[in-house]
Amino acid sequence: MKFIFLQTPIITDSINNPIVEEKTLSIMELISSGGLGGNIIMGTLGLLSIYAIYILIERFSTIKKASVEDESFLKSIKNFVEQKDIQAAKTLCKNTDNPVSRMIEKGIDRIDKPMTDISAAIENQGKLEVYKMENNLANLATIAGAAPMIGFLGTVIGMIVAFHEMASAGGNIDVEMLSKGIYTAMVTTVGGLVVGIIAYIAYNFLVSKIDKVIFQLEARTTEFLDLLHLNE
């Protein structure tokens, strides 16, 4: 019996495997890698984010100031009303800078009129105080809605650039050729969403703070109206 051994030649691949180098991008390089269109979109989003942060800080400080309560103020007002010293009560209200004092001052100015007139005057002043606290909140809400849409606009622009490069290249499509459009599409979307989320959270945070202040104003003015009712 003869055995036939077949020897298969070992074929070696003479092509060296390419060395893959990791490329890292800084935040600034990532932002500026989207070309002119991407830079315009990101610049707009940057300005909106700065404005949103400004509104957050400015409104928060205003609301915090309005929420500070002076317990001695209402006690002094109560004493003046019981003593029928209306002028001293007015002077105290003028010297105290907060929404409660301004609302109570409107009530004291009409202290000789019916309770409905006093309540209406206080309510109108309260609406004005709330309007002051809500100043620029509409702009913050607009940023929360507009920023993602601006980011999606950058996405559309980036895809248009990418498809234009593909059409111009014909059959010779290069990945680097498409990178500018793809970067624009992705980076602007992320930027728009980040700015929109920050503005949305800031808006709801400020609204919750204002609601708390409104509750405080209603409680203090109710105490004042009860005081007037008892001293009629």
pLDDT tens column, 28-52? 555 555 556 677 888 899 999 999 9
pLDDT over 70 (residue 2):
no
pLDDT at 206: 96
- Joined together, the tokens standing for residue 130 give 């709330």
Give residue-wise pLDDT tens across range 74-108. 889 888 888 888 899 899 998 988 899 999 999 98
Per-residue confidence (pLDDT) for residue 20, from 0 to 100 = 46
Tokens representing residue 118 in the block = 């006093």
pLDDT at 189: 87
Q: Is 33 helix (H, G, I), strand (E, B) or coil?
A: coil
According to DSSP, residue 171 is labeled T
Q: How far is it, in rounded angstroms, from Cα 208 to Cα 196?
A: 18
**In terms of pLDDT, which residue wins out, 186 or 18?**
186
Q: Tell me, what amino acid is at 126?
A: G
Identify whether the C-beta of residue 160 lies closer than 8 Å to the C-beta of residue 130: no
CA 70 to centroid of chain Cα atoms: 30
- Write the CB contacts of 56 (distance below 8 Å, at least 6 apart in sequence): 140, 202, 205, 206
